[in-house]
Amino acid sequence: MAARETPDKTLGESLRDIGLSRRGFLKFCAATASMMALPPSMAPAIAAALEQARRPSVIWLSFQECTGCTESLTRSHSPSVEELIFDFISLDYHHTLQAAAGEAAEAARLQAMEANRGEYLVIVDGSIPGPDANPGFSTVAGHSNYDILMETVEHAAAVIAVGTCAAFGGLPQAKPNPTGAMSVMDLVKDKPVINVSGCPPIPMVITGVLAHYLTFGRLPELDAYHRPMAFYGQSIHDRCYRRPFYDKGLFADSFDDEGAKLGWCLYRLGCKGPTTFNACATMRWNAGTSWPIESGHPCLGCSEPSFWDGGGFYEPVSVPIGTSTTTLLEAAAVGAVAGAGIATVARKGKKDAVKTRQPVTIEELEQKL
């Protein structure tokens, strides 16, 4: 996968080159509107924008993660991952998907950064051991995740944190957070950061955010947690097809009782739908086949901050919804301020070091957290 400049051809020209008819393009736009959670009436505006769109260069960085987010992306069916790579973006660096390895891979990243300075997108999956943590917890080509992240985002147009680990710290940050894991927005303060949370995120949401950037040349409207409103604007509970049972007070009390068989509300079995914001209820999983609640399992709340430490998965949400949301927002605000302070102090000390980035040393590996 050779690094290259953003192609000169627009998307409209590229699609016509492969023989796509105008009806095919209309269909492409209808599917794209659906993918971006926009109404079908937006299709003409999307068509006009896509006609002129140019594929952005994308650098995908993987840190403390399980590759579940990439696994999810490769199961995107509209567009497929191949269509995504060939039509929507120029994927210039991705550990798992790229053919290059070793020094050639790192050279591709640096080339893409240089050729598309100020215009490329950085996608991050996985959390990052903070600047004060032992850098040896996670390295790429011998360099700490923190150094690689800060070097790569310096001239990026925007950063997209894919998955709850990159967005909020996720599983690596769960108590007692042995690696000092931090999220992207804890560390990157001078670039737009979009959080596409979920463990993993819905594949169509990942591609939808990229399609939005490609179509409109700007980032989508975000919520208080930097998540795109189009996908995270409503709670699972409010979009759940089982919501009428909640309103009627009809609940499943165990996984095999009559209520469970009749498809009643799973609130008492620990469903975190009331405090979770995501698009599962409408976009579903596995090419639109189903989603956890349709399969009879409560929502775990995987797209929310600290969901691993939020109490038992099978314990009912025990606090009023309003209080919970407010508390979470306040907690996030405190966390963001603390994170900003840490990152600012860290940047001062690290700024010169990044310029002459050095591999992690034995002494650093031996230091205690």
Residue 104 lies near other proteins (rule: CB under 8 A): no
| Length, in residues, of the chain | 369
Instruction: Please classify residue 307 by burial: count the beta carbons closer than 10 Å to its beta carbon, then call 0-12 exposed, 13-18 middle and 19+ buried.
Output: buried
Nearer to other proteins, 86 or 308 (CB): 86
CA 180 → CA 126, 159, 171, 268, distances in Å?
Answer: 13, 21, 12, 34
Our finding on whether 281 is near other proteins (CB under 8 A) is: yes
- Measure the CA–CA gap between 285 and 291, rounded to whole angstroms: 6
Residue 118, φ and ψ in degrees, nearest 5: 85, -5
Contact between 248 and other proteins by CB under 8 A: the answer reads: no
| Closer residue to other proteins, CB minimum distance, 16 or 155 | 16
Q: Which of 6, 14, 31, 155 binds other proteins (CB under 8 A)?
A: 31
Q: Which of 82, 241, 315, 327 binds other proteins (CB under 8 A)?
A: 241
Residue from 10, 14, 78, 98 in contact with other proteins (CB under 8 A) = 78
Pairwise CA distance, residues 161 & 193, whole Å: 7
Q: How many CB atoms lie within 10 A of CB 251?
A: 19
Contact flags string 283-322 toward other proteins, x per CB under 8 A = x---xx-----x----------------------------
Residue 237, annotated ligand binder? yes
Phi, psi of 277 (to 5 degrees): -115, 115
Considering only 143, 191, 239, 347, the residue that binds other proteins (CB under 8 A) is 239
Task: Say whether residue 244 binds other proteins (CB under 8 A).
Answer: yes
Give the β-pairing of 193-196 and 158-162. Answer: parallel
User: Residue 87 CB, nearest distance to other proteins (Å)?
Assistant: 11
> Which of 212, 227, 242, 272 forms a contact with other proteins (CB under 8 A)?
242
β-strands 57-62, 90-94 pairing = parallel
Residue 199 marked ligand-binding: yes
Which stretch, 20-28, 86-94, 172-180, 300-308, contacts other proteins (CB under 8 A)? 20-28
Choice between 244 and 349, CB closer to other proteins: 244
Q: Which stretch binds other proteins (CB under 8 A): 17-25, 193-201, 298-306, 329-337?
A: 17-25
Q: Taking CB under 8 A as the rule, does residue 249 contact other proteins?
A: no
Enter the tokens of residue 17: 């080159």
Residue closer to other proteins (CB basis): 21 or 52 = 21
Is 165 annotated as ligand-binding?
A: yes
Q: Cα 229 to chain center, whole Å? A: 13
Closest by Cα among 330, 283, 324, 322 to 301: 324
Among residues 1, 10, 14, 20, the one that binds other proteins under rule CB under 8 A: 20
Strand partners, 285: 290
Would you count residue 23 as binding other proteins (CB under 8 A)?
yes
As measured in angstroms, the least distance from the Cβ of 283 to other proteins is 8
Number of C-beta neighbours around residue 38 at 10 A? 19
Q: What one-character-per-residue DSSP string does 194-261 give?
A: EEE-SSS--HHHHHHHHHHHHHHSSPPPB-TTS-BHHHHSSBHHHH-TTHHHHHHT-B--STTSHHHH
Cβ closer to other proteins: 215 or 306?
215
Closest CA to 233 of 223, 244, 247, 219: 223
Longest Cα pair distance anywhere in the chain, in angstroms?
65
- Tokens for 242? 């089982």
> Segment 127-186, which members bind other proteins (CB under 8 A)?
none
- Measure the CA–CA gap between 100 and 104, rounded to whole angstroms: 6
29 annotated binding-site participant: no
Q: Which of residues 250-279 bind other proteins (CB under 8 A)?
A: 261-263
Which residue in 2, 7, 13, 24 binds other proteins (CB under 8 A)? 24
Residues at the contact surface with other proteins, assessed by CB under 8 A: 19-24, 26-28, 30-31, 33-34, 37, 39-41, 43, 77-78, 80, 239-242, 244, 261-263, 281-283, 287-288, 294
Where is the binding site, in residues?
66, 69, 165, 199, 237, 240, 265, 271, 280, 299, 302
Annotated binding site for [4Fe-4S] cluster: 66, 69, 165, 199, 237, 240, 265, 271
